[in-house]
């Protein structure tokens, strides 16, 4: 749980950096590819290329393709069809995908995580709902693909580590995650990127460096390690905790307007969803790591 909380705070800060210094200024495909390359450079000298079970190696590569590659490709494309508030609103369905995919992999149906994450969706909707545009169906479907890919990556990594137990530390095989992400991101940049919108200032390069090394490299590693240590309901709920955290960081540092009443009510509902999930598990003993 500690890993998830810390990475939530890290990503909340990074989300504002993207909005303030990169969005609309630096090609998004280049930004994503650069983040993957920098993150991969951290794990390149740490990764063991021999002696890793083939299932773990290819599975981690697939998780990277899903959780970083496909997710970000669809996310950035969705901005062509949706407004920023709509994008934020439609990301609140990720927790539902987390619980449903986890149940499907375990061939069960668990009420506790589904109830808790549904409550978290309500809380996030209270914070972010600002109305919808008329032409959003394709963008909505793109974003749901992004949400499902991100959820499948989290749940898949947790199941992968249990299926292939090894004495090898997790950081010795996590380089395959970024290799998988690069398989998706690099061709996307070559085919869809705009070479005329590359970083032009030291600040933009610095932000990309932070996002690549810290937010992507350390962030994705510790988020996925945290996903292995909590139940599906908690993991799903933490996916929506980024919304109030991101708004608070943006409000405090960049003094952007925010509806504090909605933020407080929605944040309280998300906190309540964590309590409901925890108490349900305490009452009925249904808690289980993802």
pLDDT 10s digits, 148-188: 999 999 999 988 988 888 778 888 899 999 999 999 999 99
Q: How confident is the model at residue 102 (pLDDT cuts 50, 70, 90)?
A: confident
- Who contacts 191 (Cβ-Cβ below 8 Å, separation ≥6)? none
Using CA atoms, how far apart are residues 52 and 60, in angstroms rounded to an integer? Answer: 11
Choice between 118 and 72, residue whose per-residue pLDDT is larger: 72
Q: What is the pLDDT of residue 238?
A: 79
pLDDT value at position 64? 94
**pTM, full prediction:** 0.78
Q: Give percent above pLDDT 90 in the chain.
A: 26
DSSP SS3 for 167: coil
How far, in Å, CA of 88 to CA of 69, rounded? 19
Residue 228 pLDDT: 85
Task: Kindly calculate the radius of gyration of the chain based on its CA atoms and give it in whole angstroms.
Answer: 19
Q: What is the pLDDT of residue 174?
A: 92
When the pLDDT of each residue in the chain is averaged and rounded to a whole number, the result is: 80
Confidence of residue 287 (pLDDT cuts 50, 70, 90): very low
What is the mean predicted confidence (pLDDT) over 221-237? 82
Closest CA relative to residue 117, chosen from 5, 28, 237, 220 = 237
Q: Is the pLDDT of residue 32 over 70?
A: yes
CA dihedral (103, 105, 108, 109) in degrees, to 10, reads 20
Q: Which single residue is written with the structure tokens 């998004």?
A: 28
Q: Which pLDDT does position 51 carry in this prediction? A: 83
Provide the H-helix boundaries in the chain. 2-17, 28-43, 54-64, 71-78, 84-90, 94-106, 111-128, 137-163, 175-192, 202-210, 219-227, 232-240, 242-254, 260-284
* Cβ pair 73, 188 in contact under 8 A: yes
Task: Give the tens place of pLDDT for each residue, 237-286.
Answer: 777 777 667 667 766 676 556 566 776 777 677 667 666 766 665 555 54
Tokens 């993991």 correspond to: 235
pLDDT greater at residue 55 or residue 235? 55
């Amino acid at each position: 749980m500690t890993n998830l909380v810390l990475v939530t705070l890290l990503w909340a800060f990074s989300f504002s950096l993207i909005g303030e210094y990169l969005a609309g200024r630096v090609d998004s495909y280049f930004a994503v590819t650069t983040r993957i390359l920098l993150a991969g450079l951290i794990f390149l000298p740490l990764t063991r290329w021999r002696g890793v079970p083939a299932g773990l190696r290819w599975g981690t590569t697939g998780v990277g393709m899903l959780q970083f590659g496909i997710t970000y490709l669809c996310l950035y494309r969705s901005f062509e069809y949706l407004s920023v508030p709509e994008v934020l609103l439609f990301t609140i369905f990720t927790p539902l995908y987390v619980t449903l995919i986890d149940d499907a992999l375990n061939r069960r149906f668990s009420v506790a995580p589904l109830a808790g994450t549904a409550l978290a969706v309500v809380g996030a909707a209270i914070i972010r709902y600002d109305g919808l545009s008329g032409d959003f169906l394709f963008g909505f479907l793109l974003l749901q693909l992004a949400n499902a890919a991100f959820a499948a990556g989290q749940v898949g990594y947790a199941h992968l580590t249990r299926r292939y137990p090894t004495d090898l530390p997790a950081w010795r095989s996590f380089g395959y995650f970024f290799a998988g992400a690069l398989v998706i991101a690099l061709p996307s940049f070559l085919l869809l990127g705009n070479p005329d919108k590359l970083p032009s200032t030291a600040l933009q390069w610095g932000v990309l460096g932070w996002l690549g090394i810290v937010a992507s490299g350390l962030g994705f590693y510790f988020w996925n390690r945290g996903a292995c240590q909590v139940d599906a309901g908690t993991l799903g709920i933490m996916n929506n905790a980024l919304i109030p955290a991101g708004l608070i960081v943006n409000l405090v540092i960049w003094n952007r307007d925010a509806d504090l009443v909605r933020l407080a009510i929605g944040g309280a509902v998300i906190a309540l969803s964590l309590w409901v999930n925890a108490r349900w598990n305490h009452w009925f003993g249904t808690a289980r790591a993802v």
